[in-house]
Structure 1
Amino acid sequence: MKKQIIAVAGLALALAACGKEGGTTAATAPAAQPGEKPALCLVMKSLANEFFQQMQKGAEEHAAKRGDLTLQVVGIQNETDIDNQVAAVEKCVTQQARAIVIAPADSRALIAPLKRAVDAGVKVVNIDVQLDEGAMKSAGIADKVPFVGPDNREGAKQSGLELVKALGKDAEVVILEGNPGAANATQRKQGFEDAIKEGGLKLAGSKTAHWETNEAHTVLGSMLTANQNIKGVLAANDNMALGALKAIEEQGKKGQIKVAAFDNIPAIQPHVKEGTVVATLDQYGAQQAANGIDYAMKMIAGESFSGWQKTEIKLITKDSLQ
C-alpha cells in the first residue's frame, strides 16, 4: 500500500505553495488571482482498486491537457478506510485548495468535513458515489455540491438482465454487495433486485464483501458450500467478481456458475470474453473525474451547480468486446 501512503503524505507538499499551514480551524480559500493555477484535490477511495487507478490516470491526463490548474490526487488504503478519507479532506481545506472533487467512501460520514470545506469557501464536486441527499440538506450544502456520476441502479439492472438471459427463469442467484454506507452499493443492489424480479430469478442470498476481492472470495465460498444450487452471482463491482470467480473455480464449477458485474476494469475483460462473466457495466471513471474537474473549475470561476449531472454508462458483453 506504499502508493496510497505516498499520495496522502504528499498532499501537504503539493498544496503548501497555495496557502499557509492551518491549525485546528480550517483556513478560508483565497480569492482567485489573475493568471493563477488553482489547486484542486481529487479525493478517491482505494488506489489498490484498478477502477480508481484508471480514474487517477484519466484525471491527471485531463489536468495536464487543460494546463490551468494544479491537481493533487489522494487515495486511501482500502474501501472502508473512511477516517483517512476524512483526514484527506481536512488536509485539502487546511492547505487552502480551491476545490475538492471527491468519490466518497461513505455517503454520510463525509458530509461534516465537506460542509467545513464549503464553509471555508472551497468548491466541492461529488463524483462516483452520491452523497446522502437528506444529510446534505440538513447540513445546508445540498444546493452547493453537485453530483457528477452515473445511474448505478439502471446500470446494475442492465448487467443483471444479461445474467437472466444466461440462466433462465427460476435459477438461484446471490448478490455480493459493496459498502453498506455507500449510496452506489445500495443502488446497485436495487438494480440487481430489479433484474431478478423482472427475469424471474430466485435470490438465494445477499451479503456485503465491501468491494474487496479477497473478501468476496471468502464470502462466496461460504455461500456456495452452503447452497449447491447457486447458478449465478451478481457482483456490485469487478473486484468482487474476480474474488467470486476464484471461489467458483476452487469448487470445480467454472462455467457452471455465471457472474454479472460492474465497472469494466481491464482485469475483468478476459473473463467477459470467455463467457464466465456474462456482463459488466462501464461507468467511465476517468471521464467522471475529468468532468468533476471541469465542473470544479467552472465553480471557481463563479458558476453554480447543484443536483445530479448524469454521466454515461455502457453495458459490456462478450459481443461488444469483440
Structure 2
Amino acid sequence: MKKKWKVFSAAVAVSCIALIAGCSGDKEVSGGGGKESVSVVLKTLSSPYWKYVEAGAKAAGKELGVDVNVVGPNAESEVMQQINMIEDQLSQSPGALVVSPSQPDTVVPALEAANVPVLLIDTDADVKNKITFIGTENYEAGQEGGKLLASMLQKGDKVALISGALGNTATDERIKGAKEALKEAGMEIVAEQPADSDKTKAISVMENILQKHSDIKGVFSANDDMALGVLRAVEAKGLDVKVIGTDGTKEAVESILAGKLAGTIAQSPYDMGYEGVKNALEAIKGKKVEKRINSGVDIITKENAKEKLEFLESISK
C-alpha cells in the first residue's frame, strides 16, 4: 500500500521542525504572535504521538498568526491534572479552547463551564457547547488493526488485546473494533488487559499474559508505546508473535522497518493539531465549522513504512 502523507505547506513543515525541538513535558508553549489566542490542552506531552499533535497546532499558529498555548499532564492517566489545566487555561481568557480529553465524562463539567468555543481532537465527548470533533474514528482504526493482525495468522490462533487507561474512550473504541474483527476472522481472544498507554507497564502486562498463554500468536495494542512494550516482552521469551500497534509513531515505524513490529494503524496527529487550531480560529471569527472532521487512518506495514518514516522525520527534526 502506497500513500502520500500530506503536509499543509512547506512553510508549515519548516516551522514545525524548528518548533518541535522545544517541546517539553507539561510545560506551556507559545508561538505565533497574533491577535487571537487558542489554548490547546492535550492528554500528555510525554509521548511522540502528542508531540506530533503539538507540532501541528503550533505550526498552524505560526502560519495563521495565532497565539497558541499547548499544555498537557505528565501522563494520560493524570485526569485531575488535565482538568486543572483546562480551568487554568480558561482563566487566561483565550479566544477558543482545543482539548483532547483523557477521561471524557470527567472533564465535561470543566468544558461546559467555558464561555469560549470548545473544539475536541483525538477523543470525542458529549459536551453541549462543543463546536466540532476532529480525529480518527477509533472503532474503525481498531477494526483495521484487527483485520491486519488476522491476515497474518491462521483461523483459531490465540491472540491478546492490550488496552489503554480505564475510561479512555479512544483506546476503548480501538479495542472494541479490533475485537470484533478478530472474532469475525475466527481468532481466539484469550486475554484483554489494560496497560495505561505506557510502554513499561505493557512489558509487565505481556509477561503475565505469556505465563498463562505461551502459545499466543498475535497481539493488538491500542497504542504504539504499549505495542513496543509487548514486543520487548515477546522477544525476551524468544517467541514469534505478530504485534500490531496504533498511532504510527516514529519509533513504531522504525521497528516495522527493522522487521520487528508487524504493523501499526497510523492516525494523523499532526493534522489533528493543525486542524484544531485552524478551525478554532474559524469559530472565533464566527464562521461555520463542520460538526465532525475525520482525520483518517493509514495501514502501515513494511511495504510502506519507509515513506511514512520520511514524513515523520520531516516534522520532528
1:95 equivalent in structure 2: 92
Q: Contact between 1:169 and 1:199, CA under 8 Å: does it hold in 2?
A: yes
2:227 corresponds to = 241
| Residue 109 (structure 2) aligns with | 112
Query: Which residue is equivalent to 1:194?
Result: 180
Q: SS where residue 46 of structure 2 aligns?
A: coil
TM-score normalized by the length of structure 2: 0.85
In structure 1, what is the equivalent of residue 55 of structure 2? 57
Partner of 2:209: 223
Which of the two has higher C-alpha Rg? 1
- One of 203, 207, 210 as aligned partner of 2:196: 210
- Please list, as runs of the form range in 1=range in 2, the aligned pairs for 1:63-82 lying within 5 A after superposition: 63-67=61-65, 69-82=66-79
Q: After superposition, give the CA deviation of every residue in 1:111-166 in whole Å (9 maximum; x if it has no partner).
A: 0100011xx2x1110000111x3xx3xxx43xx33111111111121122111111
Residue equivalent to 2:6: none
Q: Which runs of 5+ in 2 are unaligned?
A: 1-22, 307-317
Q: In the comparison of the two structures, how many residue pairs are matched?
A: 283
Query: Which contiguous aligned blocks of 4+ residues in structure 1 show a shift greater than 6 angstroms?
Result: none
Query: What's the CA shift for 1:275?
Result: 3.5
TM-score by length of 1: 0.83
Deviation at 1:303, TM superposition (A): 2.5
Q: Which runs of 5+ in 1 are unaligned?
A: 16-34
Which amino acid is 1:228 matched to? S
1:312 is matched with 296
- In the TM superposition, what is the alpha-carbon distance from 1:181 to its structure 2 partner? 1.1
Mapped contact 2:57–2:276 kept (Cα < 8 A) = no
Choose the corresponding residue for 1:178, options 164, 168, 171: 164
The CA deviation at 1:36 is 6.4
Aligned mates of 1:321, 1:50 — CA distance in 2: 17
Question: Matched residues in 1 for 2:54 and 2:295: separation?
Answer: 17
Checking the alignment, whether the CA contact within 8 Å between 1:101 and 1:293 is kept in structure 2 is yes
Q: Deviations over 1:266-311 (max 9, x none)?
A: 0011221244322211111011111111111111011344642212
- Give 1:136-155 correspondences, 5 Å limit: 136=127, 140-141=128-129, 144-155=130-141
Q: Supply the distance in 2 between the matched residues of 1:62 and 1:95 (Cα, whole angstroms).
A: 20
User: Is the Cα–Cα contact under 8 Å of residues 185 and 236 in structure 1 kept in the other structure?
Assistant: yes
The answer on 1:45 being equivalent to 2:31 is: no
Amino acid across the alignment from 1:52:
W
Q: Does 1:257 align with 2:241?
A: yes
Q: How far is the alpha carbon of 1:167 from its aligned partner? A: 1.2
For 1:302, the aligned partner's letter is G
Q: What amino acid maps onto 1:169 in structure 2?
A: K
- 1:72-100 deviations in Å (ceiling 9; x for gaps): 11011001011111011101111111111
Q: CA deviation at 1:4?
A: 2.5
